[in-house]
Amino acid sequence: MLAGNVAVSVSSGSLVITGDGAGNGVSVQQLNSGRYYVTGFSVSGGNTTVNGSLAGKIVSGVTNDINVDLNAGNDVFVMSNRASRRAELAASLSGGTAGPIQPSPEAPSGSVDPGLTRVPKNLSVVTDDDADGVEFTARVGSNDLNGGDHVGGVATITTGNQNDRVIAKNSTIFDDLLIDTGNGNDNVHTDGSGTYDFLYATLGAGNDAFSSDRNWGFHSQIYGGDCHDFISVTNYNFTEEVFLHGGQGDNTINAGNMNAGHVSVWGLSGRDTVNLRNCSSSANFLVDVGESNDDVNLDDVDAAGSLLVYLQGGDDDLDVANSQTGDTLFDGGAGFDNYDNNGGNSLGSPTIINFEA
């Protein structure tokens, strides 16, 4: 396949990276405050060029956003200050086809965090409808030390349809992290990262996977879309709501060591499995798995308000252990349903209906 080319420039303080219709590999590394090295690498049989040259480009004067639009082709974008991390992610996101990433001809300043790329305000990465990969380890935006508010801080990742991968690792987002992977079998990881406002991901139709470990913020809403989805969160701490929505299809939703204000876990029609362990809500906790034969397991779930479980139609199983609630409603719905109280529970005002065993 033909190698791609990306145009790199600085406009009004923003770093702008624009790809063509071929498969592009793009790497961004910070060298100093407002100074970055952008280089291409091979993902489809030839090295991606930068402004028509095989050499990368050093840019300065970046004080606003980093805006990336790679257009069509199977593209890979990586942003990290660690050379080993960039190479590892490029290989993983490309399925092993990525070529070597050339090092910067200029050594990074000693003031640059060796593992965290600083984005002055906002980050936007857009790809078209092909199998794409996006990874960043970054600090997006900042605090306004005078007013106490954030400056910028929105990271938006939009990958279009087909099978895409997105990884946000060990990052700090001073406002929102917004991920839209379109339709296809997509895979999203957000590990060791914090968002000062929203973590929002919509994965579209397809057999998708969302996993997160050691994330924190204010709001989290994860939508798997239709088809068979896997959602897993651990060490997940959000001040306001957490929504985990599997959509239509046979879904698996796992949560461990999760703490939030309101918690809602949803499945629609399909055989859903929900496993919640060591999870707490300072308000209400809702599980609604929709129609079909579903399996819900609650162990050490603490709801300061109400714990509501709706199993809807189908032959369902509900197992509850070591859980504490203010008010409790377990509704098996239509079908032959089984409820097991496995001990250690303190269920306030329990109403348990529509269970045959």
Domains of the chain by residue range: 1-103, 104-353
Structure tokens at 89: 């992610």
Strand partners for 229: none
pLDDT at res. 1: 46
The helix or strand, by DSSP H or E, that contains position 91, with its residue range, turns out to be helix 83-93
pLDDT at res. 236: 98
Residuewise pLDDT in 10s, the chain (357 residues)? 456 899 999 999 999 999 998 899 999 999 999 999 999 999 877 789 999 999 999 999 999 999 999 999 899 999 999 999 999 989 989 888 888 999 999 999 999 999 899 999 999 999 998 899 999 999 999 876 555 567 889 999 999 999 999 999 999 999 999 999 999 999 999 999 999 999 999 999 999 999 999 999 999 999 999 999 999 999 999 999 999 999 899 999 999 999 999 999 999 888 999 999 999 999 999 999 999 999 999 999 999 999 999 999 899 999 999 999 999 999 999 999 999 999 999 999 999 988 975
Residue 144 CB coordination number (10 Å): 11
Which alpha helices (DSSP H) does the chain contain, by range?
A: 83-93
pLDDT at res. 2: 53
d(CA 168, CA 194) in angstroms, rounded, equals 10
| Local structure of 87: helix, strand or coil | helix
Structure tokens at 60: 């300065």
Phi, psi of 89 (to 5 degrees): -70, -40
Strand partners for 77: 26, 134
pLDDT at res. 3: 67
